[in-house]
Amino acid sequence: MNKQPRVVVTGIGIVSSIGTGRKPFWKALTAGTSGISRITTFDTTGFKCQFGGEVHDFSPERYIEKRRVKFLGRASQLAIAASSLAIEDAGLVPDSIAHSKTAVLLGTTMGEKPLEDLVQSWVKVGIRDLDRRRILQASANNLSANVALYFKTKGQNYLFPTACAAGNYAIGYGYDLIRNDGIDYVLAGGSDAFFYVAYIGFQRLYAMSPDRCQPFDKNRKGMMLGEGSGMLILERLESALDRGADIYAEVLGYGLSCDAFHPTAPDPVGLAKSMKNALAQSGLTYTDVDLICSHGTGTPSNDKAEAQAIKSVFKDRAKRIPANSIKSMLGHCMGAASAIEAASCCLAIKDGIIPPTINYETPDPECDIDCVPNIARKKTVNVALNNGFAFGGNNSCLVLRKFKK
């Protein structure tokens, strides 16, 4: 096992409701900025929830050649923009990754947006006026393919639609490919655009809060829908050192588990198992962990189950390990969520500051963990766990560590 290369994160690209690009994002995140605003993407008449984490100031033309923008759905545009930012942030030029040793691995929940436009058109108008360009872009596999097409990468190309844990699945498999498959660079992360089906679906499950997301708060009312994309550049430590790249963190390993229990309800045992698997695979114990970036959706059931899982894994230390939820600020960016959260872990490690869980007012005895309420906290973070859980019992946990030679 010693011969296997170490894998590090050297580039971060974010498009989010609180900021686009690593620096604006991090500044807003550590300031506890909320990205929640009144929904404009679609008609919300008659619904209790009128708010969400839409990205308002995204102009795809800044990142994508104008003539190509109109061919791409919004989720692809977000992913290409975040990728472009990550490549630049890593100090790479696009040409240096345009080869068969670069893999593109992307996670999503809802897939590509032109599908929803088509379906709306089909439902309202019928089959006559369906736009050919949209049909071509409708299926979800376009997401990862569009990123690879844009940057001309020729290695593995995977779309993981493992719902709200998908970003971690992509980053984790990227780590596997670099260690075992001779891959030089991995562009890994997730992307999701605001999606009507998700909006009405979560409402019907009574999973949504009307106005704000309050993870771990006693009076939490649910999640908020968000959108965005987070992409990371992964590479071998040796390659990063050779080219003098800034290293945010080292990927130590990851763990998956499956509840095999219920399509929507979380199971604390399954959640705990993904954390235990991640620690075991990374050669760590629960005493090594300095930060848990929680899944923390703000729904009564998730937060309770996650707090229970954290307590079962971290035992006596559970209440002393900060376990923040940045979904309090961004809402739930679905397939992008765990990728953006992985970026947050990397930056917390790099800068020694932990973003807060905002909107926290009333402690909940069932969630008696330290969620870093309301104000960011300075703390040295050597090891961070990034939790990502999803419908279908898709549980994942990524382990990141401060880079030390």
156 binds another protein (CB under 8 A): yes
Taking the complex as a whole, the smallest distance from the CB of residue 44 to another protein amounts, in Å, to: 9
Which of 122, 379 has the CB closer to another protein?
Answer: 122
* Ranges within 71-100 binding another protein (CB under 8 A): 71, 98, 100
CA atoms within 13 A on the CB side of 262: 7
Please select the residue that binds another protein; options are 67, 70, 124, 404, rule is CB under 8 A: 124
The three-state secondary structure class of 289 is: coil
Pairing of strands 377-378, 353-354: antiparallel
- Residue 373 binds another protein (CB under 8 A): no
3-state class (DSSP) for residue 263 = coil
| Distance, CA of 382 to CA of 352 (rounded, Å) | 9
- Please select the residue that binds another protein; options are 31, 69, 149, 376, rule is CB under 8 A: 149
Number of residues that bind another protein (CB under 8 A): 77
Alpha-carbon gap, residue 8 to 98, rounded angstroms: 20
Q: Name which position in 52, 73, 161, 322 contacts another protein (CB under 8 A).
A: 161
- Cα angle vertex 82, ends 336, 168, to 5°? 35
Structure tokens at 227: 């959108």
Residue from 62, 136, 301, 374 touching another protein (CB under 8 A): that is 136
Asked if 260 interacts with another protein (CB under 8 A), we say: yes
Q: Choose, from 293, 332, 333, 371, the residue flagged as catalytic.
A: 332
Q: Residue 20 or 308: which CB sits closer to another protein?
A: 308
Q: Based on CB atoms, which residue is closest to another protein, 244 or 260?
A: 260
Q: Is 164 a catalytic residue?
A: yes
Tokens, residue 374: 């309301």
For residues 191 to 230, the per-residue mask of contacts with another protein, x marking binding by CB under 8 A and - elsewhere, is -----xxx-xxxxxx-------------------------
345 annotated active-site? no
187: nearest Cα among 88, 74, 281, 293 = 88
Nearest to 248 by CA among 376, 398, 348: 348
Q: How far is the CB of 256 from another protein (least distance, A)?
A: 4
Please tell me the distance from the alpha carbon of residue 342 to that of residue 130, in angstroms, as a whole number.
Answer: 38
Residue 273 within binding range of another protein, rule CB under 8 A:
yes
Which two structure tokens, joined as six digits, stand for 228?
A: 């965005």
Which stretch in 140-148, 212-220, 294-302, 314-322 sits in contact with another protein by CB under 8 A? 140-148
Determine which residue in the list 41, 96, 141, 382 makes contact with another protein, applying CB under 8 A.
141
Q: Which stretch of DSSP H or E encloses residue 343?
A: helix 337-351
> Closest distance between another protein and the C-beta of residue 161, in Å?
3
Contact call for residue 159 and another protein (CB under 8 A): yes
Evaluate whether 9 touches 247 at the Cβ level (below 8 Å).
Answer: yes
Which CB atom, from 154 or from 218, has the smaller least distance to another protein?
154
Q: What is the CA radius of gyration of the chain?
A: 20
Per CB under 8 A, does 231 bind another protein?
Answer: no
Please report, for residues 35, 49, 92, 186, 224, the alpha-carbon distance to residue 326 in angstroms, rounded to integers and kept in the order given.
Answer: 11, 20, 28, 25, 12
Catalytic residues: 164, 295, 332
